[in-house]
Amino acid sequence: MAQEMIEGINPTRMELLKLKQREKLAVKGHSLLKEKRNALIMEFFNILDRVKGSRENASEKLKEAYQDLTAAQVIMGDLAVRKAAMSVKESVDVDIDSRSVMGVVVPVLDSEIPQKNITERGYGFMDTSGKLDEAASKFEESVKLIIEVGEIEKTVILLAGEIESTKRRVNALEHIIIPRLQNTVKYIEMRLEEMERENFVRLKMIKKAMEMEANG
């Protein structure tokens, strides 16, 4: 297989100097990108561990909340639970910010979900079960955990995309750009050496012809 080179390059000393500088920058860039890729992969797996833990926490809290809700439905009846739920006016305020992880901008979500008592939720405590309040409290905790899962999972997706992009750039430099620069540098060096030898031979021939003319 023929070695690939950069096309349209004149074999001159000026071009040789330019190509050597480009090769030097490409090698340095390759090294920096490899470091970035490795750091991103480490960060990715660290956050991936958090994803698993956060999902399990949210899932467990939701499970407990639904168990309490089911218990409240058994005690109070489905209609009474629905009536209590309709009286709750709830909204969640989420502040969205961002931070940089190895140059990747990832979201930071901050949610304000205060713990409330029965009266603060909007339904009375005379005709409701304590299980309903426990369910409501656990659902509030679940929402906060779900928001946390969303933040972490989005971070994982963004990091995975940047890792893939960085890997492609590393591979392009390692297998295409740097080899082409190196092959072109070698080619120009060989051509310059050939041209020097040709010039040397030509000068010798001219000198010999001049000497013969002078002696003739």
Domain containing 36 — which CATH number?
A: 1.10.287.3240
pLDDT 10s digits, 100-149: 988 899 999 887 766 665 555 555 555 667 788 888 888 888 888 999 99
Domain annotation covers residue 71: yes
**Residue 1 pLDDT grade (very low, low, confident, very high; cuts 50, 70, 90):** very low
3 located within any domain: no
Contacts of 169 (CB under 8 A, 6+ apart): 33
Distance of CA 9 to the CA centre of its chain: 36
Alpha-carbon dihedral sign for residues 5, 10, 11, 15: negative
One DSSP character per residue, 113-133 reads: -----HHHHTS-SSSS-HHHH
Please work out, in degrees rounded to the nearest 5, the angle formed at the alpha carbon of residue 21 by the alpha carbons of 18 and 26. 125
% of the chain with per-residue pLDDT over 90: 44
Instruction: Decide if 210 contacts 74 (C-beta within 8 A).
Output: no
What secondary structure does DSSP assign to 82-106, as a single string?
HHHHHT-----EEEEEEEEETTEEE
Q: How many domains does the chain have?
A: 1
pTM of this structure: 0.74
Whether 8 maps to a domain, the answer reads no
Task: Note the pLDDT of residue 120.
Answer: 58
Structural domain including 132 reads 15-207
Residue 96 — pLDDT band, cuts 50, 70, 90?
confident
Retrieve residue 156's tokens.
């994982």
In a domain, 10, yes or no: no
- Residues 14-60 pLDDT 10s: 999 999 999 999 999 999 999 999 999 999 998 888 888 888 999 99
Answer yes or no: is 213 within a domain.
no
Decide if 155 is inside a domain.
yes
pLDDT at 89 over 90: no
Average pLDDT (138-161) is: 91
Instruction: Supply the pLDDT for residue 216.
Output: 61
- In contact, 185 and 16? CB cutoff 8 Å: yes
Task: Judge whether 63 lies within some domain.
Answer: yes
For residue 206, give Cα distances in angstroms to 82, 176, 209. Answer: 108, 44, 5
Confirm whether 214 is domain-assigned: no
